Amino acid sequence: GAVVSQHPSRVICKSGTSVKIECRSLDFQATTMFWYRQFPKQSLMLMATSNEGSKATYEQGVEKDKFLINHASLTLSTLTVTSAHPEDSSFYICSAARGSTEAFFGQGTRLTVV
Amino acid sequence: KQEVTQIPAALSVPEGENLVLNCSFTDSAIYNLQWFRQDPGKGLTSLLLIQSSQREQTSGRLNASLDKSSGRSTLYIAASQPGDSATYLCAVPSGGYQKVTFGTGTKLQVIP
């Protein structure tokens, strides 16, 4: 089966620092990856679409300068939360597209900004 | 824009009961529908994926049905167990086959 690995699973960082989350497709190539976030007691919402070798496409209301996405290879996309603040504390999850019809999810990252 | 709603938002049942979770979506032109389970503080576990050409899928005590024309899917859990306690999410493709819109979720508690 298709495996998507997300790292770290949990991270605590101080306010004002940056934190990087990695999303890797372990056994397939993914030209497209997606990043979602989930605020407490809310559902998962798409943040951005990450395309290998090109700029990410962000959903309305998501600050692209704050949430930097890099998709440098066919198996790795990274999400960097810059100058994190407590309101950025959330659950972030990625998915990687295999072919045109399937996407597989990572396990997610719980970010806490203190 | 695809909107996905799940009813009920929360459900508490005694162990052993059979139960049904509902998912409705506004755009019926979907390629598939997926049900996930999310445990508190943890990631997603994929439970069932139903292709648009299928009407239902089964995995163990779980059975999911899909009625595209009415924009509905149900997840049936037979003989519920305390270990089934979690939040259940349905998800449908949104504006493409790969990115999805998640439902609002049903938080299930199975009481021993």
Amino acid at A73: S
Q: Is A62 on the interface with B (CB under 8 A)?
A: no
Instruction: Flag whether pLDDT at A72 surpasses 90.
Output: no
**pLDDT > 70? residue A49:** yes
Averaged over A27-44, what is the pLDDT? Answer: 89
Question: Which of A34, A46, A108 is nearest residue B44 as measured by Cβ atoms?
Answer: A108
Q: What is the pLDDT of residue B96?
A: 64
Find the closest chain B residue to A102 by CA distance.
B98
Q: Which of A50, A4, A51 is nearest to A25 (CA)?
A: A4
Q: Rounded to a whole number, what is the distance in Å from the CA of B45 to chain A's nearest CA?
A: 8
**Burial state string for A48-77 with b = 16 or more CB within 10 A and e = fewer than 16:** bbbbbeeebbbeeebeeeebbbebeebbbb
Q: Measured between CB atoms, does A11 come within 8 Å of chain B?
A: no
**Low-confidence residues of chain B, pLDDT below 70?**
95-97
Interface check for A69 against chain B (CB to CB < 8 A): the answer is: no
Report percent pLDDT > 90 for chain A: 75
Residue of A nearest to B102 (CA): A44
Cα separation, A32 vs B87, whole angstroms: 27
Token duo for residue A31: 């030209």
DSSP class of residue B78 equals -
| Alpha-carbon distances, residue B43 vs A63, B89, B99 (angstroms) | 24, 12, 17
DSSP letter at A47 equals E
- Mean pLDDT value of segment A82-111: 90
